Amino acid sequence: MLHAILAALLLGAVSTADAAGQQRPLTTVPGAPGTATPTPYPQITPSTPPKAGANRPGAPLLPPMPLPGPPKDQPLPGLSQDPPKAPDKGR
């Protein structure tokens, strides 16, 4: 029984080594993983962002944006222009 097991292992090892020695021809398919796919358009390199204070380290990259405010022709909500009148105590 031991001889049969050893013979089977030996035949399996020989066939595995023989199969590993043979190399199958590789055919690449366009778009397959690991292959370079040509691009239809030329590559565009990104431009550098504009810098406001290029000569100062730590300066903001862009100039400050103006903050929005309420419309000029309308008063702010919740603020009244004239103070509330006190009720008459005479009547």
> Is residue 45 over pLDDT 90?
no
Q: 62, 49 in Cβ contact below 8 A?
A: yes
Q: What is the pLDDT of residue 91?
A: 55
Mean pLDDT over the full length of the chain: 72
Q: By percentage, how much of the chain surpasses pLDDT 70?
A: 52
Please give the pLDDT value at position 47: 77
pLDDT reported for residue 77: 72
Q: Over 70: is that where the pLDDT of 55 sits? A: no
- Residue 20 phi, psi (nearest 5): -70, -30
| Nearest-angstrom CA–CA distance, 58 and 61 | 9
Please tell me the predicted confidence (pLDDT) of residue 5. 93
